Amino acid sequence: MTKFWYALGDSIQSVFPLISKLGSGAWDIGAFNVLLMLLGFAGFIFWLSKMAKYEKSEKKFS
């Protein structure tokens, strides 16, 4: 699981230079798209953590 978080950190670090590049050009459109992408990504991570907790609680009962 720690490898997953390291990979996540690397991908986030690679996204930030893209955001600063967008800042020079089409900032309004780019920022909106990046914001939507980050929101979707955060939702996906939240869903993954909920599923992991759910699976752990299922194993306790069975």
Read off the pLDDT of residues 31-62 as tens digits, 9 standing for 90 and up.
Answer: 677 788 888 899 999 988 888 887 777 776 65
Domain with 42 in it: 2-61
**H-type helices in 1-62, by residue range?**
2-24, 27-61
Closest of 58, 62, 45 to residue 1, by C-alpha: 45
**Model confidence pLDDT, tens digit, residues 1-36:** 678 777 777 776 677 666 666 556 555 666 677 788
Domains held by the chain: number: 1
Q: Supply the pTM of this predicted model.
A: 0.40
